[in-house]
Chains A and B, each alone.
Chain A
Amino acid sequence: MKYQFDFGFLWDPDNDYVLEFLHGAWLTLQLAVLAIIGGFLLGTFLATLRTGRISWARRAVAVYVEIIRNTPLLVQTFWLFFGLAGAGYRIPAFVAAALAMSLNVAAYSSEIIRAGIESIPKGQIEAAQSLGLRPLRILRSIVLPPAIEKVMPALISQYVLLMLATSIMAQISVEELMAAASRITSETFRGFEIYIVVAAVYIALSILLRLALRGIGWLAFLRTRGLG
Chain B
Amino acid sequence: MALTFNQLIFILQGTLWTIALAAIGFVGGGIIGLVIALMRVSRNRWVNGAAALYVQIVQGIPLPVLMFLAYFGLSLGGVNIPAVVAAGVSMTIFAAAFLGEIWRGSIQAVPRGQREAAESLGLSRWHTMADVILPQAVRLSIPPTVGFMVQIVKNTSYAVVIGFTELTQSGKIVNNVIFEPFLVFTIVGAIYFCLCSPLSRASRTLDARMRARGA
Contacts and interface: CB of A to CB of B under 8 A. Distances in A.
B72 A191 contact: yes
B171 A78 contact: yes
A167 B62 CA distance: 7
A72 B61 contact: no
A131 interface: no
B10 interface: no
Contacts of A1: 76-77
B68 A78 contact: no
B186 interface: yes
Interface residues of A, number: 38
B188 A75 contact: yes
Contacts of A87: 182
Which 7 interchain pairs have the tightest Cβ spacing? A82-B181, A191-B72, A167-B62, A70-B196, A72-B157, A203-B60, A192-B72
Given A82-B181, A86-B180, A167-B65, 7 more contacts: A70-B154, A75-B188, A78-B168, A79-B182, A86-B179, A192-B73, A203-B61
B161 A72 contact: no
B197 interface: yes
Contact of B192 (A3, A72, A171): A72
Interface stretch (A12-20, A42-50, A194-202, A212-220): A194-202
A178 B160 CA distance: 13
A206 interface: yes
For the side of the interface on B, what is the size category? 35 or more
B182 A167 contact: no
A192 B185 contact: no
B7 interface: no
Contacts of B77: 1, 3
A142 B201 CA distance: 32
Contact of B200 (A66, A85, A178, A202): A66
Interface string B156-181: 01101100000010011001000111
A206 B170 CA distance: 31
Interface of A: 1, 3, 66-67, 69-76, 78-79, 82-83, 85-87, 164-168, 170-171, 178, 181, 191-192, 195-196, 198-199, 202-203, 206-207
Nearest to A76: B189
Nearest to A77: B185
Contact of B155 (A66, A72, A191, A199): A72
A69 B69 contact: no
Interface string B176-214: 000111100110110011001100100000000000000
B186 A79 contact: yes
Contacts of B197: 66, 70
Contacts of A85: 181
Contact of B193 (A71, A79, A166): A71
A203 B57 contact: yes
A60 to B, nearest CB: 17
Interface string B66-93: 1011011100110000000000000000
Interface centre among B66, B175, B181 (most CB of A within 10 A): B181
B150 interface: yes
12 contacts: A3-B76, A66-B197, A66-B200, A69-B200, A72-B155, A74-B160, A75-B188, A79-B186, A82-B185, A83-B181, A86-B181, A166-B62
A131 B36 CA distance: 53
B100 interface: no
